[in-house]
Amino acid sequence: MQLTPTIAIHMTAALGALALGPLAIWARRSAIQRPMLHRAAGYAWVTLMVISAVSAMFIRDFRLPNVWGYTPIHLLVPLTLGGLVMAFVFLARRNIVGHRKAMQSLYWQACVGAGVFTLLPSRYLGQLVWGQWLGLV
């Protein structure tokens, strides 16, 4: 596998979401509330997550255990999109606790969890990090 435009788009959006998530959470959870910053960072984060999820559907790997090129990590696509929909449903119903839990869960599972998974030595990004940069693989 090599760095294609689809992978570059996916990786850029995913890294952006990983970096922006804590800002969105902090803007609402800090001692001084910043609702405008929270909303702006939140919408940007959601946009990056949608780009990540949609672009992931076009990245296929036939080397790992797969079904038509889709590996188990692709299960995060419907979970991410469904989680985003549910977070906005909670928000529309003014269920702030549900919204907070959905968004934080998405951040930890779809950003951090998937990020850790992609750094495995058998994955493309893991080979780049551990092989080329550190010379371990």
Taking a C-beta distance cutoff of 8 angstroms, is the pair 21, 107 a contact?
yes
The residue with tokens 């951040």 is 107
pTM for this prediction: 0.85
Average pLDDT over residues 52-72: 81
Residue 92: pLDDT over 90: yes
Average pLDDT over residues 87-98: 96
Taking each continuous run of H as one helix and of E as one strand, the counts in the chain are 6, 0
What does the pLDDT read at residue 63? 73
Average pLDDT over residues 103-122: 88
What does the pLDDT read at residue 36? 93
Of the listed ranges 7-11, 97-101, 132-136, the one predicted with least confidence: 132-136
Phi-psi category of 68—alpha, beta or left, where left has phi over 0 and alpha has psi -120 to 50? left
